[in-house]
Amino acid sequence: MQELDFDRLRSIGLSAAMAQSIATAWQTTPGAPLRVTEVHRETVRASDGVAELTLRLLPRLQRSLVDDAESLAVGDWLLAEADRFGDWWAHTRIPPQTLLARRDTHGLPQVFASNVDTALLVMGLDADFSPRRLERYLALVLGSGVAPVVVLSKADLCGHMLAGRLQTLALRLPVGLEVVPVDARDPHSVAHLTPWLAKGQTLVVLGSSGAGKSTLTNTLLGAAVQDTGVVRIGDGRGRHTTTVRSLHRLPCGACIIDTPGVRTLRPASDTAGAGFDDVLTLAQACRFRNCAHGAEPGCAVREGVEADRLANFKKLGREQRRDTLSALERREQLRVWKARSRASRRGAIHG
Ligand SMILES: Nc1nc2c(ncn2[C@@H]2O[C@H](COP(=O)(O)OP(=O)(O)OP(=O)(O)O)[C@@H](O)[C@H]2O)c(=O)[nH]1
Ligand SMILES: [Mg+2]
Ligand SMILES: [Zn+2]
Q: Please give the domain boundaries of the chain with CATH numbers for all domains.
A: 6-94 (2.40.50.140), 99-258 (3.40.50.300)
Q: What percent of the chain has pLDDT over 70?
A: 84
Q: In this predicted model, what pLDDT tens digit does every residue of 194-235 receive, in sequence order? A: 999 999 999 999 999 999 999 999 999 998 889 898 777 666
- How far CA 84 is from CA of 33, 44, 88, 264, in Å, comes to 19, 19, 9, 45
User: Mutation test of ligand 1: which of 126, 192, 215, 259 has the most ligand atoms closer than 8 Å to its C-beta?
Assistant: 215
Task: Kindly tell me if the per-residue pLDDT of 345 is higher than 60.
Answer: no
Task: Kindly tell me if the per-residue pLDDT of 24 is higher than 70.
Answer: yes
Rounded to the nearest angstrom, the distance between the alpha carbon of 337 and the centre of ligand 2 is 39
Q: Whose CA is nearest to atom 14 of ligand 1?
A: 212
Q: Which of 260, 278, 266, 277 is nearest to 317 (CA)?
A: 266
Ligand nearest to the CA of 282: 3
Q: In this predicted model, what pLDDT tens digit does every residue of 50-102 receive, in sequence order? A: 999 999 999 999 988 888 778 899 999 999 999 999 999 999 999 999 999 87
Task: Kindly tell me if the per-residue pLDDT of 351 is higher than 50.
Answer: no
**CA distance linking residue 16 with residue 85, whole number of Å:** 33
Report which DSSP code applies to 38.
E
